[in-house]
Amino acid sequence: MKSLAAGNDYQVCFTAPYASGGSLDALGYVGQCYNNQPASGTPTPVSVSLGAIKPGINAALKAYGAISGTVTDAGGTHHSLENIDVVVSSQSTGFSGYAMTDADGKYTVKGLEAGDNYEVCFTASYASGGSSDALGYADQCYNSQPTSGTPTPASVALSQTTIGINAALVPKGSALG
């Protein structure tokens, strides 16, 4: 960057909403400030001198995390369910994400910050592909928890996908458990 006034401290931050070229492009990259400081914190100040170039102001960005799984019909044949809304959220990180299951009942929610208390809930308003399509399916959260209760938390680590956050939905009117 040119034309910075000398004697001032600057905050240097790197944002990466459209970054590409890395091995984890599919997950997206977490922005950060110089010296590995979080973008939401207080960045390490960078001083500049008149006529000098300040070398070494670099960043190695980490990829966000993700959660994935499969949603099936809890009935005897465990058919995969398509068009299930999957909502993932964490009050402590403030991050959330959304996906819809594909024809194989699979989903992946990307762009999540590291945390150990993500709630993963499944809404079956437009579900198709199972033996209970005519009745509809009860909404639920991960680990067969009702949406009105306290969902079982799932953990997310940066640069990784937490797999196996699955659900087997029951017909409406059935008890979860």
CATH architecture of 65-169: Sandwich (2.60)
Instruction: Give tens-digit pLDDT for 84-105.
Output: 999 999 998 889 999 999 999 9
Instruction: Give tens-digit pLDDT for 102-144.
Output: 999 999 999 999 999 999 999 999 888 877 777 789 999 999 9
Domain with CATH 2.60.40.10 in the chain: 65-169
E-state strands within the chain = 9-10, 13-14, 32-33, 37-38, 46-47, 65-73, 85-89, 96-100, 106-112, 115-123, 140-141, 154-156, 161-162, 167-169
Q: What is the pTM of this model?
A: 0.80
